[in-house]
Amino acid sequence: MSWTRESLIAAARDAATRAYAPYSNFHVGAALGFADGSVVTGANVENASYGLTLCAETVAVGKALSEDWRGRLEAVAVIGGKAGAVGAGDPVTPCGRCRQVLNEVAALGDNDPTVWCVGENDVLELVLSDLLPRSFGPSSLS
């Protein structure tokens, strides 16, 4: 595993600089850390039809699964904030849809990944099952 908590957070922070968020002006970056050492990032992508917005975590999962199968998801870092103040304020936790989207890739790698939600004064360390207890996933369909 070549990434660390700090490098994953730094990757999420860097990804947030590439957010396309002209409507909310709220820039989010997410970084997925896999057991093979790879890191896949995403940033939020908004749309003039507001409801079509893609969150940073969802973009990262889409990249990870569509580019290649990365195996076991070990950790996720999420950071956000108004443009020019990313990481300021309270920790940003993944929205409900993103929790479900993350759950899919977590289940594929049979792991309950750590989720680091970055705030100004603290990094909230959770696991995905804290955020999405009693989840519906691939095994629910069997």
Query: Could you list the residues that contact ligand THU (CB under 6 A)?
Result: 21, 24, 26, 28, 44, 46, 53, 55-57, 94-95, 98
Q: Give 22 or 37: the residue with its C-beta nearer to ligand THU.
A: 22
Q: First and final CA of the chain: distance in angstroms?
A: 32
The verdict on whether 74 is a catalytic residue reads no
Name the active-site residue from 6, 46, 57, 125.
57
The least distance separating ligand THU from the CB of residue 142, rounded to whole angstroms, comes to 29
Q: Strands, DSSP E only, in the chain? A: 26-34, 39-43, 73-82, 114-118, 123-127
The least distance separating ligand THU from the CB of residue 108, rounded to whole angstroms, comes to 20
**Helix and strand numbers, DSSP H then E, in the chain:** 4, 5
